[in-house]
């Protein structure tokens, strides 16, 4: 269930799903996008081990610090690492994009206290465009999918998903299957 691209997943359900509604695609941001919080967390985790060498190498003189204060600072450092790691994982895991046989669901998880859910029936979708940008996007084949709906005030965007061109094509194929206004 930690995959970022699942076609026809089994035993997956979402809030508000109809009994006759099937999930065709379950998407999350590509795993490589997690490097933006994994690398800082790793560096912060290793900081207490390398701090004495850094101070010595830069020849910085600090006044003597009591061992109790050092222990507290190390503890605070590891708590920060835990919070950054936990928040990064939650943000990645709960930002989900779903294509069903009836609608598109965009669940944007902002924090433990706030999430936003955008829904669009397939019959209202006019077009789906994809875009890959940046070196990592090209190498790891991920990008954004932008979905235009009829008269929509809220844009539905799938950010940093794997295979964006394939996703956009699958969305349009499903729109045409249900007889929507899509132009292929």
pLDDT, tens only, 122-154 = 999 999 999 999 999 999 999 999 999 887 566
pLDDT, tens only, 47-99 = 999 988 888 888 888 888 898 998 999 999 999 999 999 999 999 999 999 99
pLDDT number for residue 52: 85
Residues 157 and 104 sit within 8 Å (Cβ to Cβ): no
pLDDT number for residue 181: 56
Which token pair is 89? Answer: 């994982």
Whether residue 112 sits in one domain with residue 169: yes
Whether residue 65 sits in one domain with residue 124: no
pLDDT number for residue 180: 54
Comparing 184 with 154, the larger pLDDT belongs to: 154
Nearest to 34 by CA among 1, 4, 9, 79: 4
pLDDT at 2 over 90: no
Whether residue 25 sits in one domain with residue 105: yes
Enter the pTM of the model: 0.85
pLDDT band at 182 (very low <50, low <70, confident <90, very high): low
pLDDT number for residue 60: 84
Last residue of a domain, one of 51, 72, 90: 90
Q: By residue range, what is the domain housing residue 79?
A: 35-90
Whether residue 53 sits in one domain with residue 139: no
pLDDT, tens only, 10-36 = 889 998 899 999 999 999 999 999 999
Which token pair is 137? Answer: 């996007």
- Output the CA torsion sign for 43, 48, 51, 53: negative
């Amino acid at each position: 269930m930690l995959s970022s691209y699942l076609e026809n997943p089994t035993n997956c359900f979402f809030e508000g799903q109809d009994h006759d509604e099937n999930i065709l695609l379950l998407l999350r941001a590509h795993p490589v996008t997690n490097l933006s919080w994994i690398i800082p967390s790793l560096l912060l985790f290793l900081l207490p081990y390398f701090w004495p060498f850094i101070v010595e190498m830069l020849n910085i003189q600090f006044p003597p610090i009591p061992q109790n204060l050092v222990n507290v600072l190390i503890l605070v450092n590891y708590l920060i690492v835990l919070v950054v790691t936990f928040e990064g994982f939650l943000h990645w895991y709960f930002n989900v994009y779903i294509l069903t046989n009836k609608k598109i669901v965009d669940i944007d998880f902002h924090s433990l206290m706030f999430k936003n859910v955008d829904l669009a029936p397939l019959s209202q979708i006019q077009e789906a465009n994809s875009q890959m940008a940046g070196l990592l996007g090209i190498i790891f084949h991920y990008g954004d999918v932008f979905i235009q709906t009829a008269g929509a005030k809220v844009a539905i965007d799938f950010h940093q998903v794997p295979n964006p061109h394939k996703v956009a094509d699958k969305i349009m194929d499903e729109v045409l299957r249900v007889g929507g206004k899509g132009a292929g």
